[in-house]
Structure 1
Amino acid sequence: MGTSRMFRIFIVLGSAFMILLIIIYWDDVGASQLYLHTPVSPGPKIPHPHPPQHQLQTSRTPSFLSDIDAFVNQFLEPGTGEPTDPAPADTTNQSEKAEERYIPRQEWKIHLTPVAAELRERQEQRRKLLQEMCANDSVVFPGKNRSFDDIPNKELDHLIVDDRHGIIYCYVPKVACTNWKRILIVLSESLLREGVPERDPMAVPRNLIHNSSMHFTFNKFWKRYGKFAKHLMKVKLKKYTKFLFVRDPFLRLISAYRNKFETPNEEFYRRFARVMLHRYADQPTPPSTVEEAFGTGIYPSFSHFIQYLLDPQTEKKMPFNEHWQQVYRLCHPCQIQYDFVGHLETAEEDAEHLLRQLRVDNVVEFPTRGGKLTASSWEADWFSTVPVAARRELYKLYEPDFRLFGYHRPDSILNE
């Protein structure tokens, strides 16, 4: 009887000793195991003891192999991003380290009300149209048939990557890109206000919205991953939700002109407006500053802007600026199979649908559109000063965008 009791005591003490060893071991390696949940880019943020408002924090740079491990491990749990996916398992009874995961648990909230059938059908039609146009031999444009591997690195700078939420966004200037960049900054939690991540997209300072350091884009992969960059891009393109927003190509050009040339903009005046005035406005010595130009009422007309776009000399000197560069050149829709194609004309509905699909609609809302939107009814007035032959030539220049994204040929303007 005494021997049996001693044996049981020995078993209990041995078990307690093993548990103690496990606890000690977990304390040693727990941090490295937890690191598997950190994102590949741009990395977890390290708060400064007393950060000023709107300070962008620095991030520690993990080793390359750890980056790869983190990247692979984040795909171990399947999920399509659709609201109908099952909710993640309850982790309340698991280790407290589950609470330290980089992705806040509240962001996994899923809305159970299904997305309207007509919105799903809209997206299906837009994706199907892209596939059909990319396979259609009658739609011809430079680079259409090249592979993703053949796209130069410098042409991948519009693809913003959010590893934390599994998002790739191709931003198109003059198509609500400012608001979408605001949203991505908020989701990244890279902007702190008194040490707390900013949650209001409209509170993001304007000087940071288009700051390249705030966004991790595909063209930055080469510096970080070297020869593995293209492979990682393709893995992310396969796994992440990819989206872009587009608009009527001619209205986008009008919007670009209004924003960059009808109002004083020193950079665009020096880089582009002076060239237009010199070439097409009989101004051999245009004013040297935008203030002087607007003070004397000298600035390029919309017709001068169209002449500049059609002039073969323009792209011999440099590629089109992003504000009027074709979407097919910015976002490569025949090499990248986008999961969501938003239109500015249906921006609010599309944005709500997309944020729900990304499971972040409880975290952030698409800002209410501000400013004056260029209306389609104004199109005929804007092009009234442009010769019909030039309008038709301009359509050929932007025809791929019209056809890829389902915008009708503007016959009322081209057939006058």
Structure 2
Amino acid sequence: MPYFRISHFFVFVLASLLVTIFMFMKPGPFGSKWKVDTQREVANNIQMEQIRRKAIIKSVCRQKNSQKSENINRNKLQRIIVEDDFQLLYCEVPKVGCTNWRRLLLTLGGHVKVPPESLTGKYVHSSQALRSLSSYSEDEIRVRLQNYTKFLFVREPFTRLVSCYRSKMERPNPYYHNYVGRMILREFRPNADKSLLATGDNVTFSEFAQFVIQHNNFNDGHWFPIENICYPCDINYDFIGKIEHISVEAPWFLESVGVPLSYSRHKATNDPRTDVALTKHFVQQLSHEQRKALYKFYQRDYEIFNYSRPEL
């Protein structure tokens, strides 16, 4: 009967499919080759992307008449952390996973004897164990810049700004509320409640954005443009990662430089991460003029790191 023949046909197809899947999943030449091919493809993609990112940086810097100098101002090296054992130079960019990179570097350098993920953010940022490149002599700086692997990770600028607001203004943060929050409320909220003026609490994203716009020389690395933190037009970075792809790029990079540790993401919480949707929610609270002014403030980061221009 036709039904009997069709049923057998589908059974045959299903069995063949299962055997094929099994061959690629089980240990052995087939599964191993598939895994190797996948790893090879990932590596090729990342390497090609690195070539593209470096070419864009070089092109943008050339257009802006930014020329690399052999003698780099020591002030431009303050954010670069040195790891001598593995010959790494990491430019630390706040709100781009820097706490996790600090955890990893503290463990890598033998400064702590516990797993990186067990270290608190407060501990890793207060630790004096990690040394800045700016603290070395001129000769020591030159040797490290020439021979060490220099890397950084970047982030979409508006998303980084929103992440900063949520971390420093929206959530409890006594230092930033008392220092920056009170300043913002005094300047941008007429007739603010005295209790808020005393604490610096309840700053809106619009008020925070206006502060960033009008005080664009307020040098706080949490929202300062990455160009003015890591100076990619002055320093030839060997690896430019993006936090949007960190789950793929960080493991590949660490393996490529022989680091025996993995990059651990933050522990899951009930507080959602700052993603594209959340960024859009906050940016929509700004006026057209504020969005234009913020884009102008971060324009170089958008161009140098090839992020799409946001809707203004």
- For residue 306 of structure 2, what is the aligned residue in structure 1? 406
> How far 1:310 moved relative to its partner?
1.1
Amino acid at match of 1:365: S
Give, in whole Å, the separation in 2 of the partners of 1:155 and 1:118: 31
Where in structure 2 are the equivalents of 1:126-141 lying within 5 Å? 126-137=53-64
- For residue 164 of structure 1, what is the aligned residue in structure 2? 85
Tell whether the 8 Å contact from 1:278 to 1:284 is kept in structure 2 after alignment: no
Where in structure 2 are the equivalents of 1:108-187 lying within 5 Å? 114=40, 116-137=43-64, 144-145=66-67, 147=69, 149=71, 151=73, 153-187=74-108
Give, in whole Å, the separation in 2 of the partners of 1:134 and 1:212: 35
Tell whether the 8 Å contact from 1:161 to 1:218 is kept in structure 2 after alignment: yes
3-state DSSP of counterpart to 2:153: strand
Give, in whole Å, the separation in 1 of the partners of 2:70 and 2:305: 20
Give, in whole Å, the separation in 2 of the partners of 1:288 and 1:145: 45
Structure 2 residue runs without a partner (length 5+): 1-35
The root-mean-square deviation of aligned C-alpha atoms, in Å, is 2.1
- For residue 214 of structure 1, what is the aligned residue in structure 2? 129
- For residue 180 of structure 2, what is the aligned residue in structure 1? 272
Give, in whole Å, the separation in 1 of the partners of 2:93 and 2:162: 15
From 188, 208, 211, the counterpart of 1:308: 211
Give, in whole Å, the separation in 2 of the partners of 1:220 and 1:212: 16
3-state DSSP of counterpart to 1:127: helix
Give, in whole Å, the separation in 2 of the partners of 1:398 and 1:130: 15
Are 2:279 and 1:357 aligned?
A: no
State the TM-score, normalized to the length of structure 2.
0.80
Are 2:257 and 1:368 aligned?
A: no
3-state DSSP of counterpart to 2:131: coil
Tell whether the 8 Å contact from 1:281 to 1:300 is kept in structure 2 after alignment: no
3-state DSSP of counterpart to 1:149: coil
- For residue 263 of structure 1, what is the aligned residue in structure 2? 171
From 299, 304, 311, the counterpart of 2:202: 299
Where in structure 2 are the equivalents of 1:37-48 lying within 5 Å? none
Give, in whole Å, the separation in 2 of the partners of 1:307 and 1:206: 28
3-state DSSP of counterpart to 1:244: strand
Q: Deviations over 1:22-44 (max 9, x none)?
A: xxxxxxxxxxxxxxxxxxxxxxx
Tell whether the 8 Å contact from 1:174 to 1:252 is kept in structure 2 after alignment: yes
> How far 1:150 moved relative to its partner?
5.1
Are 2:269 and 1:347 aligned?
A: no
Q: How many residues align?
A: 270
> How far 1:220 moved relative to its partner?
1.9
Tell whether the 8 Å contact from 1:172 to 1:245 is kept in structure 2 after alignment: yes
Structure 1 residue runs without a partner (length 5+): 1-110, 192-196, 222-228
- For residue 380 of structure 1, what is the aligned residue in structure 2? 280
> How far 1:384 moved relative to its partner?
2.0
> How far 1:248 moved relative to its partner?
0.2
Are 2:149 and 1:238 aligned?
A: no
Identity of aligned residues (%): 29
From 316, 319, 323, the counterpart of 2:222: 323
Tell whether the 8 Å contact from 2:182 to 2:198 is kept in structure 1 after alignment: no
3-state DSSP of counterpart to 2:152: strand
C-alpha spacing 1:238/1:396, structure 2 compared with 1 (3 Å): same
Amino acid at match of 1:385: Q
Tell whether the 8 Å contact from 1:175 to 1:247 is kept in structure 2 after alignment: yes
Where in structure 2 are the equivalents of 1:10-159 lying within 5 Å? 114=40, 116-137=43-64, 144-145=66-67, 147=69, 149=71, 151=73, 153-159=74-80
- For residue 201 of structure 1, what is the aligned residue in structure 2? 116
> How far 1:146 moved relative to its partner?
6.8
Give, in whole Å, the separation in 1 of the partners of 2:208 and 2:67: 30
Tell whether the 8 Å contact from 2:72 to 2:234 is kept in structure 1 after alignment: no
C-alpha spacing 1:211/1:145, structure 2 compared with 1 (3 Å): same
C-alpha spacing 1:386/1:206, structure 2 compared with 1 (3 Å): closer
Tell whether the 8 Å contact from 1:269 to 1:289 is kept in structure 2 after alignment: no
Give, in whole Å, the separation in 2 of the partners of 1:397 and 1:207: 30
Larger proportion of helix: 2
- For residue 333 of structure 1, what is the aligned residue in structure 2? 232
> How far 1:306 moved relative to its partner?
0.8
Tell whether the 8 Å contact from 2:185 to 2:197 is kept in structure 1 after alignment: no
